[in-house]
Amino acid sequence: MRRREFLAASGIGLWPVRPAAFAAQSSPAPDAFRAVGSRVRVTGMKVFGVSLTPDSDRPYVFVKLETNQGVVGWGEATLEGKAGAALACLEDFREFIIGADPMQVEHHWQSMYVHSFYRAGPVMGSAISGIDQAMWDIRGKVLGLPVYQLLGGPFDPRGVRGYYHADSEDRDELLRLRQTALREGISCFKSGLPEYYEWIGTRAKIERAVRHIQGLREGLGPDIDIAVDFHAKTSPSVATIICKEVEPVNLLFIEEPCPPENVKAMARIARRTTVPIATGERLIAPYGCRELIEMGAIDILQTDINHVGGITALWKVAAMADASGISMAPHACEGPIGGMATLHVDAAMPNFLVQEICSGVQPGMKEKVWEEWFGFPAMRMVDGRFPLPEKPGLGFELSEASLKKFPFGGTRPMARVFHEDGSVAEW
C-alpha cells in the first residue's frame, strides 16, 4: 500500500478541503459584528486631568476615545505624583491611536509597547493602561457585552470580594468596625503599620509594629481576614523578625516587606516565614512581574490596572500567576474608572483572591463625587462584594461636563519621607 493510500485508509489523509470543525472556527464574524465592529475607527482622543481638591497629589488622569460609529470608550492613566508626565505621554501616543481599529486591542498594546523602543516605566505603562482600558470599553459596547464576558465570564455571580482600609489602633474603634463588618458582610480589612511615614528599624518600633498587628486581630476577631501593608519600610531582616512574631495572628498577607525591585530579598523573606507575601502595585507590564513569579518570591500579586498596562496586561499577569500557584489581589487606589475596569478582570480570574479599594467603610468626599459622575455608588461593596456591572463595556457612562467641575490643579509630589538622620526613606 502506498503512503497516500495508507493515510486515506487510516483517517489521517491529506485533506483536500478544511474539515468542518476548522472551517467553523475560521468562519466570518456574525453579521452584526461584520457590519459595525470591523469598521470602527478611533477618530478622536481627549485627555483629562481631574483634581478633586486643588492641592491633591493624586489628580486623576482620564482618557476618552471617540469613534466613527458614535461609540466612546473611557480609560484611566492616573499616576501618583506624575500626572503631568502621564498626560504628556498620552499625547505622545495620539498618532498610534487616531485611525486605529479599537477592536484590535492586542495589536495596539504591542505597538505602543514595542514601537516605543525604550521599555515601559510607570509613565508609559500608565498611558498604555488608559488607552487599553478605553479600547476594551469600546469593544464591549460594540459587541453588547460587559468586558468580563469577553474574558470568559464571571466565576462568582455574587460579585467581587473586596476589602476596605482600617488603620485604627483604638480597640473600641476596631470593635465597632467588626460589628459593621458582620452586619454588612465585609470579610477583610487592610491596615498599614503604625508611624506610617517612618522607617521601622529600632527595637521599640519593631515591638510597636508587632503589637499593632496583634491588636488588629484582637479587635477584629478571628473570622475576619487581615492584611498589613509594610510599604517597604523595613529591611529584609526586620521584616522577617516581624513576620515570625505575628505568624500566630494568621494574616491574609503582608504587603511589600521590602521594595519590589529587590527580588532576591523578597524571596528570602518568603522562605523564612509562613505569612503569605504580597507585592506588585509598582510593577509594569507582564515582563516586570516575571522574575518575582519565577523565583517564588511572592504568594500574592497586586498589579495595578492603571500602571501595569491596562486590562490586556493584567489579564496576562493573572494567567502567569495562575500557572505558578499565585493568587491575585489587584491594587486600586486611584480613580473610579481603573477601579471599575479591574472588577471585570477580577470576575474572570480563576486565581482571584480579593480586591482592594482605598476607602473606609463610610463613604467620603471622593466616593460621593464618583456616585455623582456615574449615577451609582461606584466601587462600594454590597454584602462584602463589589457588584458586577451589567451594562456593555466597562459598565458606565461619564460626561465631560461632570469632570469640568474639578479642574486640573497641576502635579503635586507625593509625600517625601526622611530618616531621622536626613537620609531618604520609603513612605
Catalytic one among 108, 307, 331, 344? 331
Cα 257 to its chain centre, rounded Å, is 19
Q: Are 355 and 163 in contact (CB under 8 A)?
A: yes
C-alpha cell at 17: 478541503
Strand partners, 45: 65
Number of H helices, E strands in the chain: 17, 14
Quote the CA–CA distance of 101 and 119 in Å, as a whole number: 24
Other beta carbons within 10 Å of 98: 14
Quote the CA–CA distance of 247 and 277 in Å, as a whole number: 12
Query: Is 307 tagged catalytic?
Result: no
Q: Which of 149, 139, 151, 144 is nearest to 38 (CA)?
A: 139
Q: Which residues of 44-79 are buried (b: 16+ CB within 10 A; e: fewer)?
A: ebebbbbbbeeebebbbbbbbbbbebebbbbbbbbb
Quote the CA–CA distance of 204 and 210 in Å, as a whole number: 10
Q: Are 330 and 343 in contact (CB under 8 A)?
A: no
C-alpha cell at 200: 521601622
Amino acid, single-letter form, for residue 177: L
Query: Is 231 tagged catalytic?
Result: yes
Other beta carbons within 10 Å of 168: 17
Quote the CA–CA distance of 310 and 135 in Å, as a whole number: 10
Catalytic one among 108, 212, 231, 307? 231
Q: Read off the DSSP letter of residue 419.
A: -
Q: Which of 66, 92, 99 is nearest to 77 (CA)?
A: 92
> H or E segment at 189?
strand 188-192
Quote the CA–CA distance of 235 and 232 in Å, as a whole number: 8
Determine phi and psi for 376, rounding to 5 degrees: -155, 160
Please report where in the chains the cell 467620603 appears, as a residue.
Answer: 364
Q: Which residues are catalytic?
A: 231, 331
